[in-house]
């Protein structure tokens, strides 16, 4: 437990510092997190040090270059070129690689590089230094409320959400997490909204974003768990002592970051 707490503190400090600095610092952190997460995923099919994995890493870095310079067309070109490169390696080295290895390689580019890049994208928005924390209200705050709601109400109701995948998760915990995130988001909106120019109805906006993001963060958590179950592993890695690998800690953030970005962009125009 001591190790878990200490590593959690270190992770929190790194997250806080990189998000406050933003710019090149956060960009580098997001890219490194993506590459490590890809390596953890590729390790499942043993391509993390192979040509197929290298193509995945290069594609991710080229995509991030497009993100950094705010050139969407470059990022999309990198994704398309990466697909072609992965398929080229597949046919050129046939029958060395199996179809599932090839598909997981390309999946990793979208799952880790593209999805995590939205942390940086949110930070780059107007008022991003305040908006970026919604990603963690949707994920980590949601986890906390879901846990305590689940162990109190879940024991009585015992309404299991996905008994074959995650027996401890209950619908009580799900709704507790969503409501808790919405409340925290609304309170945070009342504070942060005053510092963001052009942001209307920040309390309602932050509450909606937090609630929707919290609901989808559960999908992110369960998706990562499903992959682990399929490959018969407990954790993706040991990078973060007491927590596992990058994917074990950022599984829900992978889903909440894009949700926060697009909901803010859309809702701010109609609320």
Burial class (CB in 10 A: 0-12, 13-18, 19+), 73: exposed
What letter would DSSP give residue 193? G
pLDDT at 155: 59
Count Cβ atoms within 10 A of the Cβ of residue 166 and give its class: 0-12 exposed, 13-18 middle, 19 or more buried: middle
Residue 115 exposure: Cα atoms within 13 Å on the Cβ side: 20
Structure tokens at 88: 């080229």
pLDDT at 2 over 70: no
pLDDT at position 150 is 78
| CB-facing half-sphere around the CA of 94: CA atoms within 13 A | 7
DSSP state of 223: H
pLDDT top residue among 75 and 1: 75
- The chain-wide mean pLDDT, for the chain, equals 91
Would you list the domain boundaries of the chain?
Answer: 1-124, 127-271
Arithmetic mean of pLDDT, 227-255: 87
Predicted confidence (pLDDT) per residue in 95-138, tens digit: 999 999 999 999 999 999 999 999 999 999 999 999 999 999 99
Predicted confidence band at 1 (pLDDT cuts at 50, 70, 90)? low
* Cα→Cα distances 172→21, 56, 147, 178, Å: 37, 39, 10, 10
Position with higher pLDDT, 208 vs 165: 208
Per-residue pLDDT of 139-181, as tens digits, reads: 989 989 988 887 887 555 567 888 888 888 888 889 999 999 9
């Amino acid at each position: 437990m001591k190790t878990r707490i200490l590593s959690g503190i270190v992770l929190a400090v790194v997250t806080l510092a990189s998000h406050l600095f933003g710019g090149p610092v956060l960009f580098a952190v997001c890219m490194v997190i993506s590459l490590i997460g890809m390596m953890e995923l590729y390790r499942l099919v043993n391509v993390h040090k192979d040509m197929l994995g290298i193509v995945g890493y290069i594609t991710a870095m080229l995509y991030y270059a497009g993100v950094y310079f705010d050139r969407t067309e470059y990022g999309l070109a990198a994704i398309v070129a990466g697909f072609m490169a992965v398929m080229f390696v597949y046919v050129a080295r046939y029958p060395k690689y199996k179809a599932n290895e090839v598909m997981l390689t390309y999946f990793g580019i979208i799952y880790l590089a593209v999805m995590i890049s939205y942390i940086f994208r949110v930070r780059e928005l107007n008022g991003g230094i305040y908006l970026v924390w919604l990603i963690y209200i949707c994920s980590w705050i949601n986890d906390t409320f879901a846990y305590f709601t689940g162990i109190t109400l879940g024991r009585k109701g015992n309404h299991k959400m996905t008994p074959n995948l995650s027996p401890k998760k209950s619908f009580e915990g799900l709704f507790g997490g969503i409501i808790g995130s919405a409340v925290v988001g609304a309170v945070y909106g009342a504070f942060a909204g005053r510092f963001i120019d052009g942001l209307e109805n920040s309390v309602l906006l932050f509450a909606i974003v937090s609630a929707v993001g919290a609901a989808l963060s559960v999908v992110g958590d369960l998706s990562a768990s499903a992959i682990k179950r399929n490959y018969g592993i407990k954790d993706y890695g040991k990078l973060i002592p007491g927590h596992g690998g990058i994917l074990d800690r950022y599984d829900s953030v992978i889903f909440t970051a894009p949700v926060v970005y697009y909901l803010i962009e859309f809702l701010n125009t109609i609320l």
